[in-house]
Amino acid sequence: DAKTTQPPSMDCAEGRAANLPCNHSTISGNEYVYWYRQIHSQGPQYIIHGLKNNETNEMASLIITEDRKSSTLILPHATLRDTAVYYCIVRVTNTDKLIFGTGTRLQVFP
């Protein structure tokens, strides 16, 4: 299973863009990169996913490098409600098993 590496914590000022990096250097060609977040003690919440192209939805943007060995999740205008643990996950090929790491704890401050 491809492993991901994320910084344990980051801070971001409210209203600014939050850029959360993730390394997945052992990713295989057909493995997707998924991002979930977990606010306080709630269940994880899906944010976005991608294979090779950059993706954007109403929550965030996902930038994947050309060699696919790393990606960045961008929250364009962070709010206090975006304070959470963000997990970068490489989905195991042909299964839906998600292997969560320890994630990045993002603290958005006023």
Token representation of residue 97: 């098993």
Token representation of residue 35: 């991002």
In the complex with another protein, the residue whose CB is nearer, 70 or 103, is 103
Select from 19, 49, 63, 69 the one that contacts another protein (CB under 8 A). 49
Q: Name the minimum Å distance from CB 11 to another protein.
A: 19
Q: Name the minimum Å distance from CB 13 to another protein.
A: 25
Q: Name the minimum Å distance from CB 31 to another protein.
A: 12
- The whole-angstrom separation of Cα 74 and Cα 54 is 11
Contacts of 65 (CB under 8 A, 6+ apart): 71
Please list the residues that pair with 46 across neighbouring strands: 36
Residues of this chain that bind another protein (CB under 8 A): 32, 38, 41-46, 49, 85, 87, 94-103
